[in-house]
Amino acid sequence: MKVAVIGWELPPFFSGGLGIHTFNLFSELSKMIDVDVYVPHLGPLYPFNSIKSKANNDLAGIYGYYQFKVWRKSGFNYSWQLYYPFNVRFVEIGASEYNFYDAVERYNRAFDKIDINGADIVHCHDWITFRAGIKIKERFRVPLIVTVHSTEMDRSGGFYPQKWIMDIEKDGMREADRIIAVSQYTKKMIVDTYGIPKEKIFVVHNGVGRHFLELPPRNYHSTGRVLYFGRITAQKGPEFFIEAASKAIDMHPGIKFVIAGIGDLLNKTKEKAESALPHDSYRFTGFIDLNEALNLYRSSDAFVLPAVSEPFGITVLESMSSGTPAIISKTTGVGESLRNVLKADFWDTDMIAEYIVGIVKYSGLRSTLGMEGVLESKQFTWKRAADETLKVYRSK
């Protein structure tokens, strides 16, 4: 069996969970079937050649969340070769400068002429690739599988979703032979909002990177630090994090808050923090790499994600596998399968604040949630996700 994966991003350049998912899932699937991953060639963002190298995994190093080896030529001209365990095919889209919506349009149009090299299935990811998937299904008469990582309703937080994007999502899901949703939460959204029959929707949870699952035990001495890590957008609820932080400090002065990540609400969130929190009680880190993320997880008493609408939430699993207790909203998809987390409505900042203070003050609660969370997170592997995805492929 061979699958043509229509993706959007790969490491080392990625903006969110789609790149994490694409690399990890198809690295596992490539051990079982042939995989071609298509991504747009975005000029300076991808200044390298990619080479499939199943036989040379011992050459792989760690870069961010991903494994590959980098060679550089001496002098001012650098040549990178990235070793992936699957075929990577860059699609020239001819954009002279990077504009997201223009690049999406050019990328989808490019598949009018691209040959998928004998693939038996086409697998697309989110609305940015759905139109390309429909074209490929029609041209080559192959089944179309789509994975819904997030809907426009999620990304907008339910406020003013863009109808034209929702129309593309609906068309893609209607044309798909099978739909993979990353959670039951997302499956319900697809059925209720888009009117798609539940019978063709399969739930496959994401995994957590192997490096998170192999960490040594941590200690549970209180640091008084609480972490928010993720994109700073309406979907993730950073304003509710700041509100909860303010209430937690009122109850237990001395707690420190770290806000890690970037996003369109970064400046607004900074302004809210400046007005609501003591100036020495918080800091914004901006974008952080894997090593920084690991250090923050393992040196924080608690991780908080008060998401308005989060289809899955890989950072929750990263936190738990790091031994750090997690406080999440009830509208976080991964929470449907978790017992060892504390849950609240995203808007209930009083309860979130009480959870924060409880974890910071009481070592028994902190260590119990932390150690049990490590054990629970181990069930979420990319190998398991790959096995379940392969079952979806074979159901066609």
Tokens (6 digits) for 264: 């369109």
Q: Which residues of 201-211 are buried (b: 16+ CB within 10 A; e: fewer)?
A: bbbbbbbbbee
pLDDT, tens only, 327-345: 999 999 999 999 999 999 9
DSSP annotation of 217:
P
CA distance 27 to 25: 5
pLDDT, tens only, 288-318: 877 788 899 999 999 999 999 999 999 999 9
pLDDT value at 97 more than 70: no
pLDDT, tens only, 237-282: 999 999 999 999 999 999 999 999 999 999 999 999 999 999 999 9
CA distance 250 to 255: 10
Return the CATH fold of 2-207+381-394: Rossmann fold (3.40.50)
- Per domain, the residue ranges of the chain are 2-207+381-394, 210-377
- Whether domain 210-377 has CATH 3.40.50.2000: the reply is yes
Q: What is the 3-state secondary structure (H, E, C) of 101-157?
A: HHHHHHHHHHCCCCCCCCCCEEEEECHHHHHHHHHHHHHHCCCEEEEECCCHHHHCC
- Note the pLDDT of residue 36: 94
Residue 13 — pLDDT band, cuts 50, 70, 90?
Answer: low
Backbone angles phi, psi at 92, to 5 degrees: -70, 125
Please state whether 314 falls in left (phi above 0), alpha (psi between -120 and 50) or beta: alpha
Residue keyed to tokens 């209180």:
222
What is the Cβ-side half-sphere exposure of residue 194, based on CA atoms within 13 angstroms? 29
Q: Do domains 2-207+381-394 and 210-377 have the same CATH topology?
A: yes
- Note the pLDDT of residue 287: 86
Q: Is 18 exposed, middle or buried (0-12, 13-18, 19+ CB in 10 A)?
A: buried
- Note the pLDDT of residue 82: 58
pTM greater than 0.95: no
Q: Which residues of 168-183 are buried (b: 16+ CB within 10 A; e: fewer)?
A: bbbebbebbbbbbbbb
Cβ atoms of 3 and 125 closer than 8 Å: no
Q: What is the largest CA-CA distance in the chain?
A: 63
pLDDT value at 29 more than 70: yes
